[in-house]
DNA sequence: TTGTAAGCGTTATCAG
DNA sequence: CTGATAACGCTTACAA
């Protein structure tokens, strides 16, 4: 491949001058010389080597996106929002799947550091991840937290308000007359799971009822977890008219088990989800859920990260988006 | 951040010696010196700068993954297969969404070149993309084609046999007694769409029937395309008992329109898809479709690419995987 | 076993 | 408007 030296030689100028035109420095080069250099560059199909440039500028124009699993339908939209936005500002994105495993998180943080990415967007399901966050802070790597809230102060991040979303959907269920409501929670160690559960409890409590602990089961935010939790719930033999699930995927799993056990949805049992992944509007009955603006979250986090990297002023370090109740057909009024 | 120089100075050795231990050269360093260097590296939390290394070794240990849209449910599994495999061999993956736009494909190919990725996995919906492939070949960038077949000879690639898959599912429909079968095709310019359509025609023809052109509509491989195509199909007023869709997403869209128009599936109309995305096993009725081993395709393509990069021998340059018919509940026998 | 020095392809500083 | 030259952090002959 041609290098800046080749161009310089062939255009009869110094590499400095070539560098000037590569970097579109408006002044310092005569139009004539510029044209000549541009032509040589074109003829040789020259591409400046960003690795070499990065070595001196300390910028790679590359971001790291650390998330649990791109195959989980919650994340592709986010990733798309991140990549699109990064692209607009001239950055690329390295994708990292951690499966929520601390060892993989650490591994990726290390190689992203070694590769000198300019910043990292971090979505972790585990808490405390303070170790890894500290790692990032120690090496002064700009980063933005996404979706999964950390119990540390003032870290830049974009979240959606799980408490509020769950409060809304639970209120809705209550207004529809439901009193015996089961809850399929997310993993105990996940902060989002905690926020959502708190929102559920708050709504129930506010209406003068209390949560029946026997009707609360933990899941893993996946379809399998929803199935297992629902199986346990049914096994207990306690009656309930509705199930609130901490995310859509578990709701889908729960629905399947419910149906296998002869329950009709929503005639016999109402169900709600959380996230509003694409799937939820496609299954039958269409799932009533809480929408998180995934694409927008990815985009906002990226914009925030780039501001951080480029040292621009930020309006706010912590953006909390209000999720929206999406009413479809999985909830029936009871009297 | 600490550099190799800092380590050398603090350990009282030359940078060459430090480099030796970084690169785990077994001989050439006494155990004692090695220990000393290792300790200093640990104390300073040293991470070798891969940018600098890449500049001299001409290797970045980074791959580019170019695909139309990670938010399309067909791709996350592939991406996961790619990333996992890359990770195993010590590579990272830069994600690029092109929306099948030639300008974005070109843009990404250029920046991936500038960033000196070691190789590229390319999934393009457009044909001919020969221009971009040529670009890749011109700069001697190792690449592997994934899923979308190119009409160029001998390019390394991993495909699934769309012809065969569509042939299988169409035969199945024929055996179930269907004679008036509509077809919702993929975009005309897509080679996979062509292969699938050919498989459909072959199966129909082989049974002594012919394809009614009026029952063939083109879609865009998305839900919206399935809806539109089905709307047009219904508008024509010609009768059919089954619809074969070139992918699952369009089948989902078609099902929705069918239902809106009062048709029951599969009682009134049978329908089939292609891809077997997760969604297909979750909707009601569960969709009969053709499974492509997405994760495995991503993994194989990556292994192939890495062999190419590392100059290892390859068993075959072109891997064609047989897709598998997945029979579920969206097809009814007619007599 | 260890070190010196050249070089990877750029940008940046300074001088002309 | 243009060019020498030193850096950037590392690997790699080649020498000692």
**CATH at B137:** 3.40.50.2300
Size of interface A-B (CB pairs under 8 A): 130
* pLDDT range class, residue B317, cuts 50, 70, 90: confident
Are A287 and A204 in a shared domain? Answer: yes
The C1' atom of C6 and the CA atom of B20 lie apart, in whole Å, by: 18
Tell me whether residues A83 and B71 touch, CB distance under 8 A.
no
pLDDT for the residue numbered B153: 67
The answer to whether B142 touches B309, Cβ cutoff 8 Å, is yes
User: Using a CB-CB distance cutoff of 8 angstroms, which residues of chain A are in contact with residue B277?
Assistant: none
**Are B271 and B254 a contacting pair, CB within 8 Å?**
yes
| 101-160 of chain A touching strand D, CB 7 A cut-off | none
Within-domain flag for B194: yes
Contact A158/A316 with Cβ under 8 angstroms?
A: no
Q: Which tokens go with B208?
A: 């002594």
Domain match, A308 and A285 both: no
Structural domain span for residue B114? 68-152+294-321
B10 and B38 housed in the same domain: yes
Residue of B nearest to A254 (CA): B282
Question: Does A46 have pLDDT greater than 90?
Answer: yes
Q: Distance, in angstroms, between A48 CA and closest chain B CA?
A: 6
Closest by Cβ to B70, choosing from A70, A94, A284: A70
pLDDT exceeds 60 at position A140:
yes
A138 shares its domain with A178: no
Structure confidence at residue A282 (pLDDT): 87
Number of domains in chain B: 3
d(CA B121, CA B104): 15
pLDDT (0 to 100) of residue B276:
94
Does residue A87 have a pLDDT over 90?
A: yes
Chain centre to alpha carbon of residue A186: 16
The rounded Cα B32 to chain-centroid distance in angstroms is 49
Nearest CA in chain B to A68: B80
Whether B139 and B174 share a structural domain: no
Residues 6+ apart with CB under 8 A from B316: none
The verdict on a CB contact (< 8 Å) between B70 and A62 is no
CB contacts, 8 Å: A52 with chain B? 55
Q: Would A333 be classed as within a structural domain?
A: no
The answer as to whether B62 is a domain residue is no
Same-domain status, B181 and B275: yes
Q: Give the number of other Cβ atoms within 10 Å of residue A48's Cβ.
A: 18
Question: B106 with B171, same domain?
Answer: no
Residue A155 CA to residue A143 CA, distance in Å, equals 9
Which residue has better confidence, B31 or B49? Answer: B49
> Are A110 and B47 in contact (CB < 8 Å)?
yes
* A95 in any annotated domain: yes
Of A111-120, A193-202, B144-153, the poorest mean pLDDT is in B144-153
Q: Which residue has the tokens 């011109």?
A: B138
C1' of nucleotide D2: residue with nearest CA: A17
What pLDDT sits at residue A154? 76
Read off the pLDDT of residues B50-64 as tens digits, 9 standing for 90 and up.
999 999 999 999 999
B331 is a domain residue: no
Give the mutation candidate from A71, A141, A256, A260 for the B interface (greatest B CB count, under 10 A): A71
Does the structure show a pLDDT above 60 at B128?
A: no
- Which residues of chain B lie closer than 8 angstroms to A295, CB-CB? 71
- The answer to whether B76 contacts A73, with C-beta atoms less than 8 Å apart, is yes
Same domain, B168 and B257: yes
Q: Is B79 part of any domain?
A: yes
Answer yes or no: is A207 within a domain. yes
pLDDT at B125: 65
Residue B285 shares a structural domain with residue B186: yes
Q: What is the pLDDT of residue B193?
A: 93
Inter-chain touch A114–B80, beta carbons under 8 Å: no
CA to C1' distance (Å), from A4 to D4: 16
Asked if pLDDT for residue B127 goes beyond 80, the answer is no
Q: Is the pLDDT of residue A127 over 70?
A: no
Nearest residue on chain A to B48, alpha-carbon basis: A114
How many CB atoms are closer than 10 A to CB A33? 17
Tokens matching residue A52: 């070499």
Q: Are residues B182 and B203 in the same domain?
A: yes
pLDDT-derived band at B230, boundaries 50, 70, 90: very high
- With beta carbons under 8 A apart, name residues in chain A contacting B281: none
Distance from CA of A205 to the nearest CA of B (A): 34
Q: Which of A131, A124, A128 is nearest to A101 (CA)?
A: A124
Confidence at B152, pLDDT banded by 50, 70, 90: low
Residues B23 and B125 in one domain: no
What is the pLDDT, as a whole number, of residue B119?
A: 97
Paired tokens of B222: 């998305």
* B41 located within any domain: yes
Residue A25, CB, strand C, below 7 Å: no
Is the CB atom of residue B57 positioned under 7 angstroms from any atom of strand C? no
Instruction: Assess whether A216 and A227 both reside in one domain.
Output: yes
Q: Say how far apart CA A226 and CA A252 lie, in whole Å.
A: 7
């Amino acid at each position: 491949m041609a290098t800046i030296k080749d161009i310089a030689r062939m255009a009869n100028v110094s590499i400095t001058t070539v560098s000037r035109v590569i970097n579109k420095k408006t002044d310092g080069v005569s139009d004539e010389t510029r044209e000549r250099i541009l032509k040589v560059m074109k003829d040789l199909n020259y591409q400046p080597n960003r690795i070499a440039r990065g070595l001196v500028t300390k910028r790679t124009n590359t971001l790291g996106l650390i998330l649990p699993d791109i195959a989980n339908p919650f994340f592709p939209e986010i990733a798309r929002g991140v990549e699109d936005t990064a692209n607009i500002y001239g950055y690329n994105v390295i994708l990292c799947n951690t499966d929520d495993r601390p060892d993989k998180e650490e591994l990726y943080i290390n190689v992203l550091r070694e590769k000198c990415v300019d910043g990292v967007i971090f979505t972790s399901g585990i808490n405390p991840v303070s170790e890894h966050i500290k790692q990032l802070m120690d090496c002064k790597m700009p980063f933005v937290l996404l979706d999964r809230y950390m119990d540390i102060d003032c870290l830049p991040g974009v979240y959606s308000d799980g408490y509020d979303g769950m409060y809304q959907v639970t209120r809705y269920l209550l207004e529809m007359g439901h009193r015996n409501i089961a809850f399929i929670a997310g993993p105990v160690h996940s902060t989002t799971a905690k926020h959502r559960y708190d929102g559920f409890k708050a709504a129930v409590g506010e209406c003068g009822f209390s949560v029946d602990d026997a009707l609360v089961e933990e899941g893993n935010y996946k379809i399998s977890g929803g199935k297992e939790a629902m199986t346990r719930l049914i096994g207990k033999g306690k009656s309930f008219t509705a199930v609130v699930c901490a995310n859509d995927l578990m709701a889908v799993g729960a629905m399947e088990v419910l149906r296998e056990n002869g329950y009709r949805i929503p005639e016999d049992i109402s169900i709600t989800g959380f996230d509003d992944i694409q799937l939820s509007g496609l299954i039958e009955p269409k799932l009533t859920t809480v929408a998180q603006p995934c694409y927008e979250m990815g985009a906002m986090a990226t914009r925030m990260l780039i501001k951080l990297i480029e040292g621009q002023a930020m309006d706010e370090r912590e953006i909390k988006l209000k999720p929206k109740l999406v009413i479809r057909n999985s909830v029936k009024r009871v009297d």
